[in-house]
Structure 1
Amino acid sequence: MALKNRTQTYYKNWAVQVKKDLQVEKGRGDGEDIRIWSNQDLDPTPPHKRTWHWWNYLLYFVGTGFNNWQGGSAVIGVGLGWQAAIAIAYITQSISGVVQALNSKAAARYHLGFPAIARSVYGMWGSTYQVAVRSILAAVWYATKTYEGASYLNIMMRCVFGHAYTDIPNHVPESIGYTTKDFLCYFLVWMLYTPFLFRRPYQLRNFFTGACFASFPAVFGLFIYCIAKSGGKLGLAENAGSVKMDTSTTAWLVVYAMASSISNGAAYIESVPDVARWAAKPNSVIPATLFCNFIYNPLAAVLGILGTSALQSATGETIWKPWDVMTLILEENWTSGVRFGVFLLACCWFYLVFAQNISSNMIPFGADISMLWPKHLTMTRGYIIVHLLAWCICPWKIYVSAETFFNFMGAYGIFMGPAVSIMLVEYYLISRGNIFVSSIYIGNSKNPNYWYTGGWNVQAYIAYIFSVGLCFVGFVNKVGATVPAAGEKIGYLAWFLSFTSGGVVYYLVNLVYPHQNVKNVKELKWEENADTNDVEIAGIEVVRSQSETADVEREAYAKASDNKYVVASSTTD
């Protein structure tokens, strides 16, 4: 009976929370014009929701990052050898870790998500473009990771039901690239995400911790099989995976693979403030970020590289996707014991992809949407939208081959690189760590800090357009257009060139033509505004509470005046 009561209480509380999360709470300010610039998801995280400590971030980054098997093994799939693949894994993960750590600083210090910080950099209207670009990418990756999860579920279904599942007839045209069984798994995985649409990041610590513990048997279990399959031979002596190319071609392919590997995590590098904002202390995020990106993430990639190399030595084929490795295991040995082992392995991988998709794609998309239409959309409503979009993107077309996968990753890096570097230059060099939190929610010319020029930081977009334009010829080449050889090589530089040029040009432009907020931070010390940030947040909570109280009182009065209800005035949590 006690368990039944606790269960009923839990679900009642959950239902109340869902109803509240779906509703758009009024933001700070008095005027209707100001309210549309804020809601409960755009306001700074209040102290009682800052529940993530350094160990939570450590477990989180391990759980969502120690599954980078195909990030390294796909390098072999496009023609590079194991030596280049391992070097690329460590270099790119280290670079990503440093940039990601730097980009988490402002969020952990001021407890703001990416959309709010973007306003301080690009302007109240200018930030909408950056947020929209990232939300599109988050939607694409959400569908892609749902596809990966369906691939692992496919393996589990084969292990459990055997031929009763594998013999299901296909009624989907071959041109679609997906079968009836595949669509069944995709639908089931899609349904499994539904309960998580109504949970907030600060409520998912234990869920992400579980992903950390599932990552080790997942990655090492797959690696052990690959080594056993090759009889302990990694294929290193044969330089497995490499294709004979001249030095220049190899060098450019290495550069391209590095840029593509970083672009694989470019969306999350930009999105990390959406998780860092929940930090209990300002220094909770950076050490965990650096530790994981320097050690655990590249280790997973190296295991994927060596495992793929070993399988190539044993089979003569480049099998770089984990679910394809599991398929190979089942095709060679269909005994009950092997099927049980593969089932457990697929479960672990499924958990990793499931958690990573929520943290890296669903949460960022929800945060982005809440800024684009704050008067009508919350994070929860954004989760529902991206969940529905997962069917429109057709991710099964992306994973056709390693080359297609790399083209997909590398093509959009030019848009993400300068967006991040401009944010870093603004925070660390121009504003010297000072954000005027109140101004992030004033959407008119009375904004003394972030209205810039008609709501746009012109200096930031001069740098952004220059850096994107510099690499754009390479982008159109990756999406199918024919360009000169020089333009193709510029495309190989992708993220590196756009990231570097965007930050440098933005800094130089502000030396010659500084934006209006420079004078406001001129006399401030490093992160001086952060010392008074909690006072501002307390003010926001008071304004919200007063607004909610007024709404409840007005509703109570309206009902009482109709003589239908007697309602006591109360406030919401």
Structure 2
Amino acid sequence: MYWGLSFGNWTLGSTMIGIGLNWWQAIIAIFLSQLISSVAMFFNSRCASVYHIGYPVVGRSVFGMWGSYYFVGVRAALAIIWYGVQLYSGAALLANMLRAVFGHRYTNIPNRIPASVGITSAGMLAFFLFWLIHLPLTFFRPYQLRKFFWFKSIVMLPAVFGLFIFCMVNTKGRIGFSHLETKQSGNGWGWFFVYAINSGMGNTATLITNQPDLARWSKTKTGAMYSQLITNPIAVTLSASLGILSTAAINNAWGLELWNQWDLLDAIMTRYWSGTTRFAIFLSAACWTVSILGTNIAANMIPFGSDSTMLFPRYITIPRGQFLVECLGFAICPWKILASASTFTTFLAGCQYLSNSFKFRGTADMAEVDGLFMASVVAIMVVDYFLITKGNVFISHLYNGSSTNKHYYYMRGWNVQAVIAYLCGIALPFPGFCGTLGASVSLTAQDLGHLGWMLSFVTTFVVYYVLCLVWPTHNQTLVKDMKLGWEEMSYKTIVAADGTVIGEEEEGHPDKQMPAEKKFGEMGEGTASD
């Protein structure tokens, strides 16, 4: 699944080159950015893998029963926007397929939509068809999409390598790196390179925060940890590097400036119009469409489906939430947002990383501030689980919203210490974020803004840890008084419906206890209670 998500990031390299790096600097920046992202994902997946709870429920344990509504609600709202944006990107690839099949009968469809809307009638047809492809997949739960992600990871190999081979053969390997020289130099180059790394983290920043929504389905405690730690940096760097080499070669040979795959496929079809070329373009575009589809499902559809269950748990399940975002993604008219609201999308990027559907400086500016709010959330979750509560989560208390909840009600339902650390993490890079919206800020503020995700994460990490040492929450005090060992609450005594005890825990010897998830798995669904 992680390979399928990560392999196919063709346009990430264009972002690096667009902001001023040369080809080898771009590859290094991409690898480092994905390595940092993967380490954060590694730690943020542990709680979900052990206790099998998603991001909304993990959020309750950290931010409080009512405080979590803000941190989960914002992510759910933004998922709607980016779900629509990814729909629009995938529609461009579907347009390649329609042109390959129908030719001018598709491209010459009379346009009945005003230019101010930002989309044509032909584009609307492609958008609607791609939206329709998503529809049946909204009815599946995440673990039921396992075969789909296998399929996605397989079809992306010939799509990426096939396009790369074509570009190399067509240009005889003349990549022409001379026109990709670094545009930034001097004393500020170090800050600029950090800026590039932060920009590259836009590829996985969403998955870092919502990692519990995926990792909760892991059958083992480490299933979602080492797999992505190894595959993500390799898959992203490899596919982005092939994108850099391919598009650089074509741009140099044909005198174009094409960086995303749908424009490249369109240019190839225009230059070599024939039946065999159109068939090859159709197959390639189909594979890339599957890639966008999978990314949209994992990064937006599943997270919204999971997050929305927290808002109305009596009525919304994960599949119902996924169907809801499917409708809302169309309703927000993403083509209108992208055509006329660049400042609005930049603001949204301050809360969540924009997908790499955009090019050059605009993408980098968005990624620069994307982690401003989400990085602080991840830092608090990691500190609380690994350093403060020693991996102990009291599951039953995560479903009690009243003041009788001794563990997670905190102060009127809010973890005040977490809120303070969250605000501190935002404060330093916030002026730089304002600068991206057009405000006049100092060079120092811009440099701090360039640090983005990393600065917010480190600041919040330190502040929350120190704050909890001198002013622990009630839950942290209880954990300390109970003298619990590492993840001791993940071991339980389970009693079957007939009263039979399955898996006695031995007091003082948590290492001899049987993991709760293993006991449940052996008994079957609905046959036991704590």
Aligned to 1:31: none
Deviation by residue 1:271-325 (Cα, 9 ceiling, x = unmatched): 1111111111212221211121232222112212222322332234432111111
Match of 1:442 in 2: 400
Partner of residue 257 from structure 2, selected from 318, 322, 325: 318
Q: Once the 2 structures are TM-superposed, how far is the Cα of residue 177 of structure 1 from its aligned partner?
A: 2.7
| Residue in structure 2 matching 1:261, options 179, 200, 207 | 200
Normalised to the residue count of structure 1, the TM-score between the two structures is 0.80
Q: Deviation of residue 131 (structure 1)?
A: 0.5
- Structure 2 CA distance for aligned equivalents of residues 361 and 348 of structure 1: 20
1:311-340 deviation line (CA, Å, top 9, x unaligned):
332234432111111011012111111111
Partner Cα separation in structure 1 for residue 45 and residue 494 of structure 2? 18
Which amino acid in the other structure matches residue 479 of structure 2? V
- Secondary structure of the residue aligned to 1:62 is helix
Question: Relative to 1, partners in 2 of residues 1:534 and 1:221: Cα closer, same or farther, differing over 3 Å?
Answer: farther
Q: Which sits farther off after the overlay, 270-279 or 134-143?
A: 134-143
1:529 matches 2:470? no
- Which residue of 1 is the match for residue 38 of structure 2? 97
Task: Select 2:161's aligned residue among 209, 220, 241.
Answer: 220
Moved more, 227-236 or 471-480: 227-236
| 1:123 corresponds to which of 61, 64, 70 | 64
In structure 2, what residue type is equivalent to 1:324? D
Instruction: Evaluate the alpha carbon distance shift between residue 312 and residue 251 of structure 1 in structure 2; reply closer, same or farther with a 3 A threshold.
Output: farther
Query: Displacement of 1:408 after TM fit?
Result: 3.0
How far did 1:253 drift?
3.0
Tell me which of 159, 174, 185 is aligned to 2:100: 159
Deviations 1:106-150 (A, max 9, x none): 101100101101110111111111101211232222112111210
Structure 1: how far apart are the matches of 2:34 and 2:17?
17
> Could you tell me which amino acid in structure 2 is paired with residue 227 of structure 1?
M
Check conservation: 1:77, 1:318, Cα contact below 8 A. no
Residue 105 (structure 1) shift = 0.8
- Determine the C-alpha separation between the residues in 2 that align with 1:175 and 1:490: 37
SS at match of 2:491: helix
Which residue does 1:109 correspond to in 2? Answer: 50
Once the two structures are TM-superposed, the CA of residue 480 in structure 1 deviates from its matched residue by: 2.9
Q: 1:100 to 1:533 in 2, by over 3 A?
A: farther
Distance 1:403 1:533 in 2: 56
Which amino acid in structure 2 is aligned with residue 245 of structure 1?
Q
Q: Secondary structure at the match of 2:366?
A: helix
Output aligned runs, 1:335-354, within 5 Å: 335-354=274-293
Asked whether 1:403 is paired with 2:361, we answer yes
The Cα of 1:230 is off from its aligned counterpart by 2.7
Q: What SS does the aligned partner of 2:492 have?
A: helix
1:63–1:214 contact (8 Å) kept in structure 2: no
- Matched with 1:394 is 334
> What SS does the aligned partner of 1:319 have?
coil
User: What is the deviation of 1:243?
Assistant: 4.4
TM value normalised by structure 2:
0.87
Report the CA distance shift for 1:420/1:409 in structure 2 as closer, same or farther (over 3 A): same
Q: Which residue of 1 aligns with 2:466?
A: 508
Q: Work out the CA distance in 2 between the residues paired with 1:417 and 1:290.
A: 18
Supply the distance in 2 between the matched residues of 1:491 and 1:70 (Cα, whole angstroms).
Answer: 23
Given that 2:15 and 2:359 are in contact with CA atoms closer than 8 Å, whether structure 1 keeps it comes out as: no
1:469 and 2:427 are equivalent in the alignment = yes
Cα distance change on mapping 1:532 and 1:183 into 2, 3 Å? same
SS in 2 for 1:79: coil
Which amino acid in structure 1 is aligned with residue 224 of structure 2? V
Residue 105 and residue 258 in structure 1: after superposition, are their counterparts in 2 closer, same or farther (change >3 A)? same
Offset at 1:545?
6.6
**Pick aligned residue for 2:176 from 213, 220, 235:** 235
Greater Cα offset, 334-343 or 76-85: 76-85
Q: CA deviation at 1:249?
A: 4.5
Report what 1:483 is aligned to: 441
Is 1:458 the equivalent of 2:424?
no
Partner of 2:243: 304
Residue 513 (structure 2) aligns with: none
CA contact (8 A) 1:138 1:267 kept: no
Instruction: Give 1:431 deviation, angstroms.
Output: 0.8
Match of 1:518 in 2: 476
Task: Kindly indicate whether the alpha-carbon contact (under 8 Å) linking 1:263 and 1:412 is maintained by their aligned counterparts in 2.
Answer: yes
> Of the candidates 121, 128, 133, which is equivalent to residue 180 of structure 1?
121
Specify which of 119, 126, 134 is matched with residue 75 of structure 2. Answer: 134
Report the alpha carbon displacement of residue 263 of structure 1 after superposing the two structures with TM. Answer: 3.0
User: Is residue 197 from structure 1 mapped to residue 197 from structure 2 by the alignment?
Assistant: no
Tell me the C-alpha RMSD between the 2 structures. Answer: 2.1
Mapped pair 1:381 → 2:320: yes
The range that moved more, 216-225 or 107-116, is 216-225
- Paired residue type of 2:218: A
Partner of 1:293: 232
1:449 Cα offset (Å): 0.8
Provide the rounded CA distance (Å) in 1 between the counterparts of 2:284 and 2:75: 32
**C-alpha spacing 1:77/1:171, structure 2 compared with 1 (3 Å):** farther
Separation of aligned partners in 1, 2:52 and 2:329: 30
1:171 and 1:266 map into 2 onto residues whose CA distance is: 39
CA contact 2:91–2:126 (8 Å) conserved in 1:
yes
Structure 2: distance between partners of 1:135 and 1:258: 26
Tell me how far 1:533 sits from its aligned partner: 8.3
Separation in 2, partners of 1:534, 1:351:
43
Shift of 1:400: 6.3
Runs of 4+ in structure 1 displaced over 6 angstroms? 533-539
Deviations 1:430-479 (A, max 9, x none): 01111111110110111111111111111111100011122111112223
Contact 2:11–2:359 under 8 Å retained in 1? no
1:168 aligns with 2:128: no
Distance in 2 between residues matched to 1:204 and 1:481, nearest whole Å? 44
Please state how far the C-alpha of 1:192 moved relative to its aligned partner: 1.4
Alignment partners' CA distance in 1, 2:397 and 2:24: 50
Equivalent residue number for residue 508 of structure 2: none
Secondary structure, aligned partner of 1:125: coil
The match for 1:251 is: 190
Q: Aligned equivalents of 1:471 and 1:315: distance in 2?
A: 41
Identify if the C-alpha distance between structure 1 residues 243 and 297 changes in structure 2 by more than 3 Å, giving closer, same or farther.
closer
Q: Does residue 365 of structure 1 match 2:304? A: yes
Structure 2 unaligned residues grouped into runs of 5+: 340-344, 346-356, 496-515
Deviates more, 1:283-292 or 1:320-329: 283-292
Match of 2:370 in 1: 412
SS for the counterpart of 1:284 is coil
Change (3 A) 1:467 1:509: same
